[in-house]
A and B are shown apart, each in its own frame.
Chain A
Amino acid sequence: MSFTLPDLPYAYDALAPYMSRETLEYHHDKHHNAYVTTGNNLLKGSEWEGKSIEEVVKGAYGKNQGLFNNAGQHFNHTHFWKWMKPNGGGDKLPGELEKAIVADLGSLAKAKEDFVQAGTTQFGSGWAWLAVKDGKITVMKTPNGENPLVHGATPILGVDVWEHSYYIDYRNRRPDYLKAFVDHLVNWEYVAELYAAASK
């Protein structure tokens, strides 16, 4: 099974003004596409050819850095598009997810604050996460293409903090981008879906 670039689940201008058409065009059509193309070239003939994306990410970690980088980014971006939606964000969460966030992280406000803080303090390119580890929701951050899968956790929400995610719309102001992401973009229904699957 090789990697394929998924279509965006909304129009390119659907997330404006919080994420512009231009950002989505470059981010999806150029950056994500390059991870798919490079990843497929590196996958060919490797011991992970034909494996699921999750198996490639976990298997290549620490063993084949080039494949890991591109497979990791393919996994991360495939979910990232679905972690956003027009008129997203805010405080209306599916009940089970909200209960779990309050139980594991204190409150929804605290969870958002810690998530934004993780993204702000990830120095250089990387991602910030909500992930399920040992049955609990936890806040994480990882460099470059890495993700919670290689740390024994299942990601349920992630935000890209590579500068290409926000430089066109926010320049150097990463915290403003992260705040817009949690306030206006997060697709909590998709987070809830992943949480339900992870906690089974």
Chain B
Amino acid sequence: MPASTTARPTLFERYTSLVASALGLEPGTGTAGGSARGAFTLPPLPYATSALAPVIDTRTMELHHGKHHRAYVDKLDAALKNHRSLAAKPLHTLLESLDTLPAAIRKAVRDNGGGHANHSMLWEIMGPPGEGSQAPTGALAEAIAKSFGSLDKMKAAVEAEGAGQFGSGWVFVLVAPDGGLSIETRPNQDSPLMDGKRPLLGNDLWEHAYYLTYENRRADYLKAWWAVVNWDAVARRYDAARAGTLTV
């Protein structure tokens, strides 16, 4: 799997990790820092950055959570700095009403608010390979069978849609108010929340999500990714969606 040559640290990374260890800091992880002072915060990962290896390598998790997601949170906060009433709103409310926002901050909220919502969902639905339920059960399993025929068919459709999204974006399984499931893609950091829809689960198609381990082979990443899906967390999202309490 991971070619060690591609995951090797750059000079800059070797330098910053030296500095960080001298200071007793973990580079690129943790939740303290600038974003904690704003209205929105970077949620801590619910597992160690190494927990998803070898499906997702540690360095990718450090960068993805500690740099990419953090940047979306920081830029969302910066965009809303002078809009206190907007900053107090829940994220899904902001994303549902993008066209009512001041034009000057609309794109920043769309890109960075979408990025915050999408990544928060992603961390929630993943977990260490081999832990928890290895497949959906109960109402979720029934919904998958009803909407797609089988779990394997759902996986194949997600992989095909994900491979076909040209450029950066996401592939989602959406859950409708009646519990029905469907697959849709979005470009960049657009979120189904922007259309009032709810993602049950979704995978990141930006190259930063997989390049260090899978390079150009996005299809391989999409196939391997199922091993780190936490079906118990997905089932909780399904139940919350049915109860009308799923926010992001």
Chain A interface residues (CB < 8 Å from chain B) = 22, 26, 30-31, 34, 65, 69, 123-126, 143-145, 162-164, 167-173
Task: With CB as the reference atom, state the residue of chain B lying closest to A68.
Answer: B166
* CB-based contact B216/A145 at 8 Å: no
With A26-B215, A169-B10, A170-B10 known as contacts, the answer to whether A144 contacts B166 (CB < 8 A) is: yes
A-B pair number, CB within 8 angstroms: 63
Residues of the B chain whose Cβ atoms lie less than 8 Å from the Cβ of A164:
207, 211, 216
Residues of the B chain whose Cβ atoms lie less than 8 Å from the Cβ of A162:
167-168, 207
* CB-based contact B216/A31 at 8 Å: yes
Interface hit among B43-51, B63-71, B137-145, B222-230: B63-71
* CB-based contact B111/A69 at 8 Å: no
Size band of the interface chain B makes with A: 20 to 34
* Cβ contact of B13, chosen from A69, A143, A171, cutoff 8 A: A171
* CB-based contact A163/B166 at 8 Å: no
* Cβ contact of B216, chosen from A26, A124, A172, cutoff 8 A: A26
Residues of the A chain whose Cβ atoms lie less than 8 Å from the Cβ of B187:
124, 143
Residues of the B chain whose Cβ atoms lie less than 8 Å from the Cβ of A145:
166-167
* CB-based contact B216/A168 at 8 Å: no
Please classify the interface of chain B as helix (H, G, I), strand (E, B), loop, or mixed, using the class held by over half of its residues.
helix
* CB-based contact B63/A171 at 8 Å: yes
B97 within 8 A of A: no
* CB-based contact B206/A124 at 8 Å: yes
Enumerate the 10 nearest inter-chain pairs by beta-carbon distance, A residue then B residue, closest first. Answer: A163-B207, A124-B188, A144-B167, A124-B168, A125-B167, A30-B216, A172-B67, A125-B168, A167-B211, A69-B166
B248 within 8 A of A: no
* Cβ contact of B67, chosen from A22, A26, A65, A171, cutoff 8 A: A171
Q: Per-position contact with A for B185-205: 1 when CB-CB < 8 Å, else 0?
A: 001110000000000000000
* CB-based contact A123/B111 at 8 Å: yes
Task: With CB as the reference atom, state the residue of chain A lying closest to B13.
Answer: A171
Residues of the B chain whose Cβ atoms lie less than 8 Å from the Cβ of A31:
216
Please give 17 more A-B residue pairs, beta carbons under 8 A apart, in addition to A143-B187, A162-B167, A173-B12. Answer: A30-B215, A30-B216, A34-B216, A123-B107, A123-B111, A123-B189, A124-B206, A125-B206, A162-B207, A164-B216, A167-B207, A167-B212, A168-B6, A168-B212, A171-B12, A172-B67, A172-B71
* CB-based contact B10/A171 at 8 Å: yes
CB pairs A–B below 8 angstroms (8 shown): A125-B206, A126-B167, A143-B167, A163-B208, A167-B211, A168-B211, A170-B10, A171-B63
B5 within 8 A of A: yes
Task: With CB as the reference atom, state the residue of chain B lying closest to A125.
Answer: B167
Task: With CB as the reference atom, state the residue of chain B lying closest to A70.
Answer: B166
Q: Per-position contact with A for B133-176: 1 when CB-CB < 8 Å, else 0?
A: 00000000000000000000000000000000011110000000
* Cβ contact of B5, chosen from A22, A65, A123, cutoff 8 A: A22
With A26-B216, A30-B215, A124-B189 known as contacts, the answer to whether A163 contacts B168 (CB < 8 A) is: yes
CB distance from A77 to the nearest CB of B (A): 13
* Cβ contact of B188, chosen from A30, A123, A163, A172, cutoff 8 A: A123
* CB-based contact A163/B67 at 8 Å: no
Give chain B interface residues in 55-111, CB to chain A under 8 Å: 63, 67-68, 71, 107, 111
In Å, the complex CA distance between A164 and B209 comes to 11
* CB-based contact A172/B63 at 8 Å: yes
In Å, the complex CA distance between A151 and B188 comes to 22
Task: With CB as the reference atom, state the residue of chain B lying closest to A25.
Answer: B215
CB distance from A196 to the nearest CB of B (A): 32
In Å, the complex CA distance between A162 and B6 comes to 17
CB distance from B184 to the nearest CB of A (A): 17
Residues of the B chain whose Cβ atoms lie less than 8 Å from the Cβ of A143:
167, 187
